[in-house]
Amino acid sequence: MINQKILCTVAVLCFMLSTCGCGAETQTAEESRETVIDETPTVSIPVDPAFTVVIDPGHGGEDPGSVLGDCLEKDLNLSVALKLKTMLGEAGIGAVMTRESDAYLSSETRCGTANAAGADLFVSIHCNAFEEDAGVQGFEVHHHPNSVEGVKLAANVSEATALTASGATKRENKASSLDVLTGTGMPAILIELGFMTCPDELGRLRNGDYQDSLAEGILQGIVTYLGE
């Protein structure tokens, strides 16, 4: 797999994990809200990163995703994605966002951003919902059914997040033929952070510290995968 430059990346990660959350300000989804309809994002590719990860906050703009009262899935997705972007940068890993504001993007645009960036990995961030049973909860990761590397990435992210996110229930990862998994030319996963229809889990998902722990777990899973 990818072995070059990983020692430097892991060293920076270890330092970042020992200091994350101390005095750093993170942009929130609410602060970045700006409605844009299907506007192709400006891809800002980091200068010579060891690795590049495209982060795709699901939904946006006219598409709110799941809605529970005043809580919109698109905002939760963006908030965690922005935290992950910051952590990746501090770990020396390039991060490209498909959106950084409340913008609606088609699946084709999201995939096009990842392919144009020549990214090493694609990570789409979502939240789940199951109105038939408010007790259902948990974190799960989707991967392409025919992607061996996608399966590995999903497993690493799932295991790491289960350890870092206190209270998270790890659900079985799933093979899915979702557009963002079939239209990207690199290992790709779609993460369901938890079920908004579960009151306890929704409370955690809205908590900034819990969002930090989710982002940290995703980061650790990515770094583990890149080091294999």
Q: Model confidence over 71-101: pLDDT tens digits?
A: 999 999 999 999 999 999 999 999 999 999 9
For residue 171, give its domain range.
6-14+44-226
How many CB atoms within 10 Å of residue 5? 13
Q: Indicate the number of domains in the chain.
A: 1
Domain assignment present for 87: yes
Domain assignment present for 132: yes
Helix H or strand E segment including 195: strand 188-195
Domain assignment present for 31: no
Cβ(13)–Cβ(219) below 8 Å: yes
Lowest mean pLDDT among 142-146, 164-168, 208-212: 164-168
| Global confidence as pTM | 0.81
Q: Model confidence over 108-119: pLDDT tens digits?
A: 999 999 999 999
| Angle formed at CA 223 by CA 205 and CA 208, multiple of 5 degrees | 20
Domain assignment present for 96: yes
Domain assignment present for 28: no
DSSP string of 130-174? -TT-TT---BEEEE-TT-HHHHHHHHHHHHHHHHHSTTPPBPPPE
Cβ(176)–Cβ(190) below 8 Å: yes
